[in-house]
Amino acid sequence: MPVASSEKIFVKGNEAVAMAALEAGCRCYFGYPITPQSDIPEYLSRELPGLGGEFLQAESEIGAINMLLGASATGVRAMTSSSGPGISLKQEGISYMAGSELPGVIVDIMRQGPGLGGIDASQADYFQATRGGGHGGYRIIVLAPNSVQEMYDLTMLAFDLSDIYRMPAMVLADSVIGQMKESIVANPRPAVALPDKDWVVRGRKDGTPQNIVKSLKLGDGEMEKFHWMMHARYQELADKENRWEEVQTDDAELIVTAFGSTSRIARTAVAMAREAGLKVGLMRPITLFPFPKTAYAKLSERCKLFLDIELSTGQMVDDVRLSVARDADVLFYGRPPGTGSLPTPEELFEQIKKNYQARS
Protein backbone atom coordinates (compact mmCIF):
# COMPACT_ATOMS: atom_id res chain seq x y z
CA MET A 1 0.00 0.00 0.00
CA PRO A 2 1.33 3.45 -0.83
CA VAL A 3 1.86 5.42 2.35
CA ALA A 4 2.27 9.01 1.22
CA SER A 5 -0.87 10.96 0.33
CA SER A 6 -1.91 14.59 0.36
CA GLU A 7 -5.25 13.72 1.97
CA LYS A 8 -5.81 13.99 5.68
CA ILE A 9 -6.05 10.68 7.47
CA PHE A 10 -7.09 9.90 11.03
CA VAL A 11 -4.60 7.54 12.67
CA LYS A 12 -3.03 6.57 16.00
CA GLY A 13 0.41 7.86 16.93
CA ASN A 14 1.88 4.39 16.85
CA GLU A 15 0.39 3.75 13.41
CA ALA A 16 1.90 7.00 12.17
CA VAL A 17 5.32 5.73 13.29
CA ALA A 18 4.83 2.51 11.34
CA MET A 19 3.61 4.37 8.24
CA ALA A 20 6.55 6.76 8.33
CA ALA A 21 8.97 3.85 8.62
CA LEU A 22 7.54 2.34 5.44
CA GLU A 23 7.63 5.67 3.62
CA ALA A 24 11.25 6.14 4.76
CA GLY A 25 12.17 2.89 3.04
CA CYS A 26 12.44 0.71 6.14
CA ARG A 27 11.93 -2.88 4.99
CA CYS A 28 13.18 -4.74 8.06
CA TYR A 29 11.43 -4.64 11.42
CA PHE A 30 12.33 -6.72 14.46
CA GLY A 31 10.38 -6.45 17.69
CA TYR A 32 8.90 -8.06 20.74
CA PRO A 33 5.39 -7.40 22.08
CA ILE A 34 5.08 -4.85 24.88
CA THR A 35 2.36 -2.37 25.80
CA PRO A 36 1.87 0.48 24.87
CA GLN A 37 3.63 0.14 21.50
CA SER A 38 2.26 -3.11 20.08
CA ASP A 39 0.29 -1.28 17.37
CA ILE A 40 3.64 -0.69 15.64
CA PRO A 41 4.58 -4.38 15.15
CA GLU A 42 0.95 -5.24 14.45
CA TYR A 43 0.78 -2.69 11.65
CA LEU A 44 4.12 -3.69 10.18
CA SER A 45 3.42 -7.44 10.39
CA ARG A 46 0.40 -6.71 8.18
CA GLU A 47 2.06 -4.38 5.68
CA LEU A 48 5.72 -5.40 5.34
CA PRO A 49 5.29 -8.80 3.64
CA GLY A 50 3.34 -7.21 0.77
CA LEU A 51 6.17 -4.72 0.24
CA GLY A 52 8.80 -7.45 0.04
CA GLY A 53 9.99 -6.54 3.51
CA GLU A 54 10.87 -8.61 6.54
CA PHE A 55 8.82 -8.58 9.72
CA LEU A 56 10.20 -10.80 12.44
CA GLN A 57 8.85 -11.19 15.95
CA ALA A 58 12.01 -11.86 17.88
CA GLU A 59 12.44 -14.25 20.80
CA SER A 60 13.32 -11.35 23.06
CA GLU A 61 14.11 -7.64 23.13
CA ILE A 62 17.77 -8.64 23.08
CA GLY A 63 17.18 -10.75 20.00
CA ALA A 64 15.31 -7.89 18.31
CA ILE A 65 18.01 -5.25 18.83
CA ASN A 66 20.71 -7.63 17.61
CA MET A 67 18.68 -8.47 14.51
CA LEU A 68 18.48 -4.71 13.93
CA LEU A 69 22.26 -4.58 14.32
CA GLY A 70 22.76 -7.37 11.78
CA ALA A 71 20.32 -5.95 9.22
CA SER A 72 21.68 -2.44 9.59
CA ALA A 73 25.24 -3.71 9.13
CA THR A 74 24.25 -4.85 5.63
CA GLY A 75 23.14 -1.31 4.76
CA VAL A 76 19.35 -1.55 4.81
CA ARG A 77 17.04 0.71 6.78
CA ALA A 78 15.75 -1.19 9.80
CA MET A 79 13.78 -0.47 12.96
CA THR A 80 12.73 -1.85 16.31
CA SER A 81 10.30 -0.49 18.88
CA SER A 82 9.59 -1.09 22.53
CA SER A 83 8.88 0.48 25.90
CA GLY A 84 10.66 0.82 29.28
CA PRO A 85 11.48 -2.76 30.33
CA GLY A 86 12.20 -3.72 26.73
CA ILE A 87 14.34 -0.65 26.08
CA SER A 88 16.40 -1.58 29.17
CA LEU A 89 17.07 -5.00 27.64
CA LYS A 90 18.05 -3.44 24.34
CA GLN A 91 20.76 -1.27 25.88
CA GLU A 92 23.48 -3.85 25.28
CA GLY A 93 22.73 -3.88 21.57
CA ILE A 94 22.38 -0.09 21.38
CA SER A 95 25.83 0.27 22.95
CA TYR A 96 27.30 -2.16 20.40
CA MET A 97 25.58 -0.28 17.57
CA ALA A 98 27.01 2.99 18.85
CA GLY A 99 30.46 1.40 19.15
CA SER A 100 30.15 0.01 15.63
CA GLU A 101 28.87 3.34 14.21
CA LEU A 102 25.70 1.67 12.98
CA PRO A 103 22.52 3.52 12.08
CA GLY A 104 19.14 2.12 13.09
CA VAL A 105 15.88 3.48 14.47
CA ILE A 106 14.58 2.60 17.92
CA VAL A 107 11.11 3.75 18.93
CA ASP A 108 10.52 4.07 22.67
CA ILE A 109 6.90 4.55 23.70
CA MET A 110 7.63 5.25 27.35
CA ARG A 111 5.66 3.63 30.15
CA GLN A 112 6.03 3.95 33.88
CA GLY A 113 8.77 2.37 35.93
CA PRO A 114 10.99 1.34 37.54
CA GLY A 115 10.53 -2.38 37.06
CA LEU A 116 7.32 -3.54 35.51
CA GLY A 117 5.83 -0.18 36.52
CA GLY A 118 2.66 0.46 34.59
CA ILE A 119 1.47 1.27 31.13
CA ASP A 120 0.34 4.88 31.56
CA ALA A 121 2.29 7.84 30.23
CA SER A 122 5.68 8.68 31.70
CA GLN A 123 8.65 10.85 30.87
CA ALA A 124 10.93 9.21 33.41
CA ASP A 125 13.11 7.56 30.75
CA TYR A 126 14.51 10.91 29.62
CA PHE A 127 17.84 10.18 31.26
CA GLN A 128 17.98 6.64 29.89
CA ALA A 129 17.38 7.96 26.36
CA THR A 130 19.51 11.08 26.35
CA ARG A 131 22.53 9.75 28.27
CA GLY A 132 23.07 6.81 25.95
CA GLY A 133 21.49 4.21 28.21
CA GLY A 134 24.12 1.50 27.94
CA HIS A 135 27.79 1.21 28.83
CA GLY A 136 30.72 3.05 27.32
CA GLY A 137 29.97 6.77 27.23
CA TYR A 138 28.08 7.23 23.95
CA ARG A 139 25.00 9.21 22.96
CA ILE A 140 22.23 8.57 20.47
CA ILE A 141 19.97 10.96 18.59
CA VAL A 142 16.70 11.45 20.51
CA LEU A 143 13.61 13.03 18.92
CA ALA A 144 10.52 13.86 20.99
CA PRO A 145 7.26 14.20 19.04
CA ASN A 146 4.24 15.84 20.70
CA SER A 147 1.60 15.05 18.08
CA VAL A 148 0.62 12.25 15.74
CA GLN A 149 1.85 14.36 12.81
CA GLU A 150 5.24 14.63 14.48
CA MET A 151 5.25 10.89 15.18
CA TYR A 152 5.16 10.56 11.39
CA ASP A 153 7.57 13.37 10.52
CA LEU A 154 10.16 12.70 13.21
CA THR A 155 10.25 8.94 12.53
CA MET A 156 11.16 9.79 8.95
CA LEU A 157 13.75 12.29 10.19
CA ALA A 158 15.17 9.67 12.58
CA PHE A 159 16.05 7.42 9.63
CA ASP A 160 17.80 10.27 7.80
CA LEU A 161 19.75 11.58 10.80
CA SER A 162 20.72 8.06 11.78
CA ASP A 163 22.13 7.40 8.30
CA ILE A 164 23.88 10.76 8.06
CA TYR A 165 25.54 10.63 11.48
CA ARG A 166 25.99 6.83 11.61
CA MET A 167 24.50 6.35 15.04
CA PRO A 168 21.26 4.93 16.42
CA ALA A 169 18.33 7.35 16.54
CA MET A 170 15.46 7.09 19.01
CA VAL A 171 11.92 8.39 18.69
CA LEU A 172 10.92 9.02 22.30
CA ALA A 173 7.19 9.32 22.99
CA ASP A 174 4.79 7.96 25.56
CA SER A 175 1.44 6.22 25.65
CA VAL A 176 -0.45 9.53 25.32
CA ILE A 177 1.15 10.32 21.96
CA GLY A 178 1.37 6.67 20.89
CA GLN A 179 -2.24 5.80 21.60
CA MET A 180 -4.12 8.96 20.64
CA LYS A 181 -5.66 9.51 17.22
CA GLU A 182 -5.26 12.74 15.25
CA SER A 183 -5.57 13.90 11.68
CA ILE A 184 -2.30 13.93 9.82
CA VAL A 185 -0.95 14.25 6.33
CA ALA A 186 1.35 11.38 5.47
CA ASN A 187 3.90 13.41 3.56
CA PRO A 188 6.20 11.79 1.03
CA ARG A 189 9.76 11.06 2.06
CA PRO A 190 11.73 14.28 1.69
CA ALA A 191 14.70 14.35 -0.66
CA VAL A 192 17.70 14.35 1.65
CA ALA A 193 21.30 13.94 0.52
CA LEU A 194 22.56 10.80 2.25
CA PRO A 195 26.16 9.65 2.46
CA ASP A 196 27.23 6.51 0.62
CA LYS A 197 27.25 3.47 2.88
CA ASP A 198 30.66 2.30 1.76
CA TRP A 199 31.23 0.66 5.13
CA VAL A 200 28.49 -1.96 4.87
CA VAL A 201 28.97 -5.70 5.20
CA ARG A 202 27.29 -7.28 2.22
CA GLY A 203 29.80 -9.81 0.92
CA ARG A 204 32.61 -8.67 -1.34
CA LYS A 205 30.70 -9.40 -4.51
CA ASP A 206 31.98 -6.46 -6.48
CA GLY A 207 35.59 -6.94 -5.44
CA THR A 208 35.26 -4.33 -2.72
CA PRO A 209 37.80 -4.34 0.11
CA GLN A 210 37.02 -6.22 3.32
CA ASN A 211 34.49 -4.41 5.47
CA ILE A 212 34.27 -5.11 9.17
CA VAL A 213 31.54 -3.84 11.48
CA LYS A 214 32.90 -4.06 14.99
CA SER A 215 33.21 -2.26 18.29
CA LEU A 216 36.36 -3.95 19.67
CA LYS A 217 39.18 -1.41 19.57
CA LEU A 218 42.42 -2.72 21.01
CA GLY A 219 44.97 -0.80 18.94
CA ASP A 220 47.27 1.69 20.59
CA GLY A 221 45.28 4.94 20.82
CA GLU A 222 42.43 3.50 18.75
CA MET A 223 39.74 3.83 21.41
CA GLU A 224 40.74 7.32 22.46
CA LYS A 225 40.67 8.43 18.84
CA PHE A 226 37.21 6.89 18.42
CA HIS A 227 35.85 8.77 21.42
CA TRP A 228 37.20 12.11 20.22
CA MET A 229 35.77 11.44 16.79
CA MET A 230 32.33 10.69 18.28
CA HIS A 231 32.63 13.73 20.50
CA ALA A 232 33.17 15.87 17.40
CA ARG A 233 30.20 14.19 15.74
CA TYR A 234 27.95 15.01 18.70
CA GLN A 235 29.13 18.61 18.46
CA GLU A 236 28.31 18.67 14.76
CA LEU A 237 24.86 17.33 15.59
CA ALA A 238 24.38 20.13 18.11
CA ASP A 239 25.52 22.73 15.57
CA LYS A 240 23.32 21.53 12.73
CA GLU A 241 20.38 19.52 13.98
CA ASN A 242 18.91 21.25 17.02
CA ARG A 243 15.16 21.55 16.69
CA TRP A 244 12.70 23.25 18.99
CA GLU A 245 9.41 25.14 19.00
CA GLU A 246 8.74 28.49 20.67
CA VAL A 247 5.27 29.84 21.38
CA GLN A 248 4.84 33.49 22.39
CA THR A 249 8.30 33.77 23.89
CA ASP A 250 9.07 37.24 22.42
CA ASP A 251 7.70 39.26 25.32
CA ALA A 252 7.43 36.45 27.89
CA GLU A 253 8.28 37.14 31.52
CA LEU A 254 8.01 33.44 32.29
CA ILE A 255 8.78 30.66 29.84
CA VAL A 256 7.25 27.27 30.42
CA THR A 257 9.32 24.43 29.03
CA ALA A 258 8.22 20.85 28.43
CA PHE A 259 8.61 18.09 25.84
CA GLY A 260 6.34 15.47 24.31
CA SER A 261 2.90 14.86 25.82
CA THR A 262 3.42 17.31 28.69
CA SER A 263 4.08 20.13 26.23
CA ARG A 264 0.56 19.69 24.88
CA ILE A 265 -0.95 20.30 28.31
CA ALA A 266 1.52 23.09 28.97
CA ARG A 267 0.52 24.80 25.74
CA THR A 268 -3.12 24.94 26.86
CA ALA A 269 -2.02 26.30 30.25
CA VAL A 270 0.10 28.98 28.51
CA ALA A 271 -2.95 30.01 26.46
CA MET A 272 -4.96 30.27 29.71
CA ALA A 273 -2.21 32.45 31.20
CA ARG A 274 -2.20 34.75 28.18
CA GLU A 275 -5.96 35.07 28.46
CA ALA A 276 -5.46 36.09 32.08
CA GLY A 277 -3.04 38.80 30.92
CA LEU A 278 0.16 37.06 32.00
CA LYS A 279 3.13 37.30 29.64
CA VAL A 280 3.94 33.61 29.41
CA GLY A 281 5.52 31.63 26.56
CA LEU A 282 6.42 28.04 25.79
CA MET A 283 9.75 26.54 24.79
CA ARG A 284 9.54 22.95 23.57
CA PRO A 285 12.66 21.01 22.65
CA ILE A 286 12.03 18.63 19.74
CA THR A 287 15.54 17.18 19.73
CA LEU A 288 16.42 15.99 23.24
CA PHE A 289 19.85 14.90 22.04
CA PRO A 290 21.23 17.17 20.80
CA PHE A 291 19.56 19.38 23.41
CA PRO A 292 18.89 22.88 22.02
CA LYS A 293 21.16 24.58 24.56
CA THR A 294 21.89 27.65 22.46
CA ALA A 295 18.18 28.36 22.01
CA TYR A 296 17.68 28.30 25.80
CA ALA A 297 20.74 30.46 26.30
CA LYS A 298 19.37 33.03 23.87
CA LEU A 299 15.92 33.08 25.47
CA SER A 300 17.45 33.51 28.91
CA GLU A 301 19.31 36.66 27.86
CA ARG A 302 15.97 38.43 28.12
CA CYS A 303 13.64 36.20 30.11
CA LYS A 304 14.96 35.25 33.54
CA LEU A 305 12.26 32.86 34.72
CA PHE A 306 11.69 29.33 33.40
CA LEU A 307 9.23 26.74 34.61
CA ASP A 308 10.09 23.20 33.55
CA ILE A 309 7.24 20.70 33.59
CA GLU A 310 7.69 16.94 33.30
CA LEU A 311 5.97 13.66 34.03
CA SER A 312 8.74 12.75 36.45
CA THR A 313 10.43 14.20 39.51
CA GLY A 314 12.70 16.16 37.20
CA GLN A 315 15.18 15.04 34.57
CA MET A 316 15.17 17.41 31.58
CA VAL A 317 15.25 20.24 34.12
CA ASP A 318 18.97 19.48 34.60
CA ASP A 319 19.62 20.17 30.92
CA VAL A 320 17.55 23.37 31.07
CA ARG A 321 19.57 24.57 34.07
CA LEU A 322 22.83 23.81 32.25
CA SER A 323 21.64 25.74 29.20
CA VAL A 324 20.23 29.02 30.53
CA ALA A 325 22.18 32.11 31.58
CA ARG A 326 23.54 32.05 35.14
CA ASP A 327 21.18 34.74 36.36
CA ALA A 328 18.07 32.95 35.11
CA ASP A 329 15.98 30.89 37.51
CA VAL A 330 14.68 27.48 36.50
CA LEU A 331 11.71 26.29 38.55
CA PHE A 332 10.28 22.82 38.34
CA TYR A 333 6.84 21.31 38.54
CA GLY A 334 6.50 17.60 37.97
CA ARG A 335 4.20 14.72 38.63
CA PRO A 336 5.91 11.37 38.94
CA PRO A 337 4.36 8.93 36.51
CA GLY A 338 1.42 6.96 37.82
CA THR A 339 -2.17 6.25 37.01
CA GLY A 340 -4.04 9.53 37.41
CA SER A 341 -0.92 11.67 37.63
CA LEU A 342 -1.24 13.37 34.26
CA PRO A 343 -1.59 17.06 35.20
CA THR A 344 -4.57 19.07 33.99
CA PRO A 345 -4.20 22.41 32.14
CA GLU A 346 -5.81 24.12 35.16
CA GLU A 347 -3.24 22.59 37.47
CA LEU A 348 -0.39 23.84 35.31
CA PHE A 349 -2.03 27.26 34.96
CA GLU A 350 -2.14 27.55 38.77
CA GLN A 351 1.60 26.79 38.90
CA ILE A 352 2.30 29.37 36.21
CA LYS A 353 0.16 32.02 37.95
CA LYS A 354 1.67 31.36 41.38
CA ASN A 355 5.27 31.64 40.19
CA TYR A 356 4.57 34.54 37.83
CA GLN A 357 2.91 36.60 40.55
CA ALA A 358 5.57 35.77 43.13
CA ARG A 359 8.14 37.24 40.75
CA SER A 360 6.31 40.42 39.69
Partner 1 sequence: MTQVFTRPESLKDVATHFCPGCNHGSVHRLVAEALDEFGIRDQTIGVASVGCSVFLYGYFDIDVIEAPHGRAPAVATGAKRARPDRIVFTYQGDGDLAAIGMSEIIHAANRGEDLTVIFVNNTTYGMTGGQMAPTTMPGQKTSTSPYGRDVAKDGAPFKMAELLSNLDGVAFSARVALNSPKNILQAKKMIKTAFRYQVEKKGFSFIEALSSCPTNWGMNPLAANQRVTDEMIPYFPLGVYKNTANL
End-to-end CA distance of the chain: 57
8, 46, 181, 202: residue in contact with partner 1 (rule CB under 8 A): 202
Please tell me whether residue 162 binds partner 1 under the rule CB under 8 A.
Answer: no
45, 215, 242, 341: residue in contact with partner 1 (rule CB under 8 A): 215
Show the site string, 112-141: x = touches partner 1 by CB under 8 A, - = not.
------------------------------
Whether the Cβ atoms of residue 152 and residue 4 lie closer than 8 Å to each other: no
Please tell me whether residue 187 binds partner 1 under the rule CB under 8 A.
Answer: no
CA pair distance 78, 161, nearest whole angstrom: 13
Q: How far is the CB of 320 from partner 1 (least distance, A)?
A: 35
Virtual torsion, Cα 90, 21, 203, 194, nearest 10 deg: -110
Q: Which residues contact 96 (CB under 8 A, 6 or more apart)?
A: 66, 69, 215
Helix axes 222-241, 148-165, angle to 10 degrees: 140
Phi and psi torsions of 182, nearest 5°: -145, 165
Rg over CA atoms, the chain: 21
Residues 45-64 that bind partner 1 (CB under 8 A): 54, 56, 58-60, 62-64
Show the site string, 4-43: x = touches partner 1 by CB under 8 A, - = not.
-----------------------xx-x-------------
What single-letter DSSP state applies at residue 51?
G
Please tell me whether residue 78 binds partner 1 under the rule CB under 8 A.
Answer: yes
Stretch that binds partner 1, among 4-12, 72-80, 173-181, 246-254 (CB under 8 A): 72-80
Burial zone of 314 (CB within 10 Å; 0-12 exposed, 13-18 middle, 19+ buried): middle
Whichever of 78 and 177 has its CB closer to partner 1, that residue is: 78
Would you tell me which residues interact with partner 1 (CB under 8 A)? 27-28, 30, 54, 56, 58-60, 62-64, 66-76, 78, 92-93, 96, 100, 201-205, 207, 210-216
